[in-house]
Each structure stands twice: as C-alpha cells, then as structure tokens.
Structure 1
C-alpha cells in the first residue's frame, strides 16, 4: 500500500525548508528591487514562462491589489506585440528559476531599448538574466520536492513567497490601508464590509417606519407591519426622534397587560435608543447591533431627525453579515 500521507508530509517539510532558505536573500538586492518598484511612475510588469509564468500572474495580481499597479505579460505574446504595453516609466520583473529561459531572454534587449528598469528573480546569481538586470533577487533552493528533482515544486513555492514578501513590503512603504484594499475589491465580501455605508442600504422616504409620539400603540403596530422592519421611530411635532418601538417592546408590553388600543406609544417606547448616521460603515453598525443585542438601527441627521432605518436582514442581503 502506497503511503500517500508520508509522501505529502515529506513534500511539506522540503518546501518549508525552501522557504527558510530564501530568507538569506532578503538583502540589499531585495531592498534595491523594492525601491525600484516603489519609485516606479508607471506599472510593474511581471514576465515569466511556464510554471514561473503561473506564479508570476499571481504575484502581479497581489501587487495590483495591494497598491502597486501591476500586470502579467506572457513572454511569447510579448514578442508578438504585447511589448507595446511597456514604457520607459515601467519596471519589468522577470521570473526564471534557471535564469536562462529563452523566451524571456529574447525580449530583454527590447526592454533595455525602451528604457524600463529590469529586475530578475532567478535561482542563479550568475545566470544571463541576472547579469542583464538592474538588480537581482535570488530564489535559489537546495532541492525540489519532486523526488525526480524535475517538477517545479519547492522553487515555485519559494518564488511565490518572495513575491508576497515584495508586495507586503511595498504595502507598508505606501501606507496602504484596509480602505485602500477594499477599493480594489469592491465586488467581494471584504470590499462590502469595508466600503458599504448605511446610506447604501437604509430604508428611506415612504419605506421609513415612523409615528408621532401621540399615536396609539395600535397605530405603531400597523406602521411596523406595513414597513416590515420590526420597529418604528417615534417623533414629536418637529420630527425629532423621541424614541423607538420594536417587536421586543411589543412582547414586553403584552406581558404587562398594556391597553394597545388606548395607550399612547410614548408611554411604552424605548427612550434614547441607539442611533447611527448615514455615513457609518455597515460593518460598524453590525458591531453595534451585536454588542447591544439589538436587531435594527434608526439613522438620524444632524438635527436628530430620522432619515433612515435598517435591520439585520438588510446587512444579510448586502453581504456584510
């Protein structure tokens, strides 16, 4: 019986060793490469062939999403027109474990002629590619996890980790924030949590549940039923928020045998309820609701007048929850 588990553990051990090995290459050359990308007035263009190309695509994507404009170009396509994307203001990051990949070396003279800065990431300090570059980041590993020593395994892992090290180093240097990250991920759940504001999801106008403080409790219940948010704001003659009445309040007053047909809503409403403003992030509202164990919020303007309302269902529909 083949021991798949032991083989898998061996691979992980070898690749962990490879990651430890490349720590020695976080040196002055690494700093020079980061500085070139930090100072770049154009884009970082990542080029690689085969498995290095696949890893290069991920590195380019990570750079782009963390504040360093970048994209991947296949060296074969570069030789047939895509080099037109490269300008003198760009920095080109070439990836080749051997440093002798023909398709990559073939386009180096053109990159040099354009005037773009060139960074090589290879496993050989004495390779042709490293010698032709403005600076070189070494990604040399002692062995591949493949028992034949042929399939790129440890070397691609080391390359990917080095790419992450570059991207995160640049992120810190740029003062890149969570809000900046969200701007490049607006369609994902992270972007929604970081960008969505209450003004984007709150119920307004005719959908806003509100009754006057002199209204009977039954009137408030009808408003709650009509608007379907499980609550209603209670206001005075100047439309100032005086309180809030919720489904939870209804259960409590029924236990207290309140006359819902004759008693006024102001006698049973929650005074000084938790409120929010329309610029509050939906994620902040979620935390408030969780901390206070409430199911909804009234949104008010600077005059303490209700302008919106939202509940947990709105957060769920928006993807925040």
Structure 2
C-alpha cells in the first residue's frame, strides 16, 4: 500500500466510523437537545469537561457552541477541585467527554458536580461504563476500531466525539431559531463579519455617484454619464421616476461593433429593461450571490416604490472584500 492509499484508508475508516455512529443515534439525542435548550432558555450555560484528547475536543465543541449563541465554558478537571467549580451554577448542563467512560480524574469530579442541581450529558464510547451510569443522558460515540495502525492512538473515536458535539450544536441552533442576523452578532470581525453585517445600503453608490438619465436620452448621454461618475453602468429613469432599464459599458461595446454611429441611438432600444434589483436593506452578501449566479457586474438598488436609490458595481463588492 503506497502513502496515498494509506491516507485514504485512514480517512475511509473514520468516515465509516461516523456512518455507523449516525445509525445509532436514538431518542436520547432528542432528550439531550431539550435539556440543553431548557438550560439556555433559563440563562444557564453548558459546562464541558474532559481529559486529554477529549479535553481538546471539548474546547472545539465549546467554541462551536459559543459561536452559535449557546453559552459554553470548558472546566479543567484538575483545577475544578481547587476553586474552578465556582464557574458552575445550579441549572447548568454538564457535557462530560470520555471515550472509555472510566477516566479517573473525571470520575473523581462527579460527586462534586452532583452537589449542584445540574444535568449531565455524557459523550461516551462505552455504554455501561462508570460515566455512562453516572450521567442522566448518554450519547453513544463508540467506534469499532481506531484509524491508528496499532489501534491505540485516539483517531476515529475523537473524530466521532467531535462530530457528535457538532451535531448537538447544529440541531440546538435550529431548535432555538438562531438566524443569520443572530450569527452576525457573534462574528463582527473578519470576512465573515463583513458578509453577515454589511447591508446593500452600506456598499451601494448613491446620489451623484449613481449615473442616471431619463428615457428619451441617447447612448452618447449614457456614456457621458458613466464617464462622469466613473461607473460601468447607467440607469434609465422613466417619467414616473421608476426604473426603466440599465445600460452598461458591455452593451455599448457589443453594439458599437455593428453601429459606429451608436451615440445618436435612443438608449432605450439597447438597454436591459428588467435588470436585477435588490432592496437597500438586503444583506450585501445577496448582491454577491446575484453577481455570481447571473454573471453580471451591476445591480440596481430600489426602494419599496421601485424607484432607484443606488447602484452596486462588482468593484464595490471587491473593495469591501466580499468577493
């Protein structure tokens, strides 16, 4: 077996382990979700405990929970016995991670956790283990073998535990009605924040930077207006003040090849009469989607009366690092 085949074998073994775990998910998962949801709705938090690789997985699960609005903290099992139990409150839910279910440090902590009015949800690979018997709910993360050639290093088992944590976080997100706007509140920085927080009104060109001409104008007028505003498109406005169409540099270039006297042509004979439009309170990411799906460079922004109030150029989206 060559090196590529070895890598594929590791990946396939872990994928198979996850597939088998998915088949074992039962009603206990739904009970766990209801317990977690009730905890959060009553201003409680999810406290995650684990040792070694399980502890590392616990940090990632906590990060995922927090990023989706489910308050989660990691409790260090050793430090818990020396003051860190102060972060635990009645009404919290303990998410206890141990593949064997016999981790000594974790089991020594259990009586002290039980001194609080908490629920314990175990992510465990050994049903009937000490942890499983101690927990209120056990989610089965067992695997037939590790991807390690020696069947020793935690690989498939830690992946299974991580994925079960993701499943909890994602289903909890849905049951709590967590929306894209909620998601944006927790991700204000970086490209993700820009995508989720920016509105169309924040990136569109308006007023003098929005080239417009009335119906009845010539192509020459449209090109002059585009040059004036340094834009690749011009909006044609009807007598009622509503959008009649859009004329772009691309329209000009394609038509000029067939008509050198194009400048005197009425622009409405060449304009696009039903261009892609968005409302100004739409998310800017919707503009990105329209640009990609329709292969266009310009999107017209309209108000509730279908009156043009702005123009988005693909260059504007690039300037805000949205594409």
Same fold at TM > 0.5: yes
Q: Deviations over 1:68-107 (max 9, x none)?
A: 3333333234344443322212111010122232332343
Paired residue for 2:273? 272
The CA distance in 1 between the partners of 2:156 and 2:272, in whole Å, is 64
Return 61-70 or 30-39, whichever deviates more: 61-70
- State whether structure 2 residue 47 is matched by structure 1 residue 48: no
Q: Does 1:224 align with 2:226?
A: yes
* Per-residue deviation, residues 265-300 of structure 1 (Å, max 9, x unmatched): 656662634243212343444454556554212222
Secondary structure at 1:47's aligned position in 2?
strand
What residue number does 1:174 align with?
176
The residue number in structure 1 matching 2:63 is 61
Q: 1:268 to 1:180 in 2, by over 3 A?
A: same
Q: Distance in 1 between matches of 2:99 and 2:293?
A: 52
- For 1:270, what is the secondary structure of its paired residue? coil
Q: Supply the distance in 1 between the matched residues of 2:315 and 2:134 (Cα, whole angstroms).
A: 59
Q: Which of the numbers 187, 210, 228 marks the counterpart of 2:212?
A: 210
In structure 2, do the counterparts of structure 1 residues 144 and 304 end up closer, same or farther at CA, with 3 Å as the change threshold? closer
Which stretch of the first structure deviates more once superposed, 199-208 or 105-114? 105-114
Contact 1:25-1:137 within 8 A present in 2 as well: no
Between the aligned partners of 1:295 and 1:19, the Cα distance in structure 2 is: 43
Unmatched 5+ stretches in structure 1 = none
What 5-or-longer segments of structure 2 have no aligned partner? none
CA-atom RMSD, angstroms?
3.4
User: 1:257 corresponds to which residue?
Assistant: 260
Q: What's the secondary structure of 1:92's corresponding residue?
A: strand
CA deviation string 1:191-213 (max 9, x = no partner): 65555432121012332222455
Inter-CA distance 115–285: structure 2 relative to 1 (3 Å threshold): same
Structure 2 match to 1:128: 130
Q: Which residue of 1 aligns with 2:35?
A: 36
Of the structure 1 ranges 307-316 and 65-74, higher mean CA displacement relative to structure 2 is found in: 65-74
Q: Which moved more, 1:59-68 or 1:38-47?
A: 59-68
Distance in 1, matches of 2:155 and 2:106, equals 21
CA distance in 2, matches of 1:292, 1:221: 23
Say which SS state the counterpart of residue 113 (structure 1) adopts. Answer: coil
Which deviations, in whole Å up to 9, do the C-alpha atoms of 1:197-247 show, x marking residues without a partner? 321210123322224557665454333123222122234677544443321
Q: Give the CA deviation at 1:30.
A: 3.2
SS in 2 for 1:94: strand
DSSP-derived class of the 2:113 partner: helix
- Equivalents in 1 of 2:200, 2:46: separation in Å? 37
Following superposition, the deviation at residue 151 of structure 1 comes to: 1.6
- Equivalent residue, structure 2, for 1:88: 90
CA distance change for structure 1 residues 298 and 168 in 2, over 3 Å: closer, same or farther?
closer
With over 3 angstroms needed to count, the CA separation of the structure-2 counterparts of 1:210 and 1:132, relative to structure 1, is same
CA deviations 1:241-266 (Å, max 9, x no partner) are 44433213333257423374xx4865
- Answer yes or no: is the 8 Å Cα contact 1:198–1:280 preserved in 2: yes
CA apart distance, 1:119: 1.6
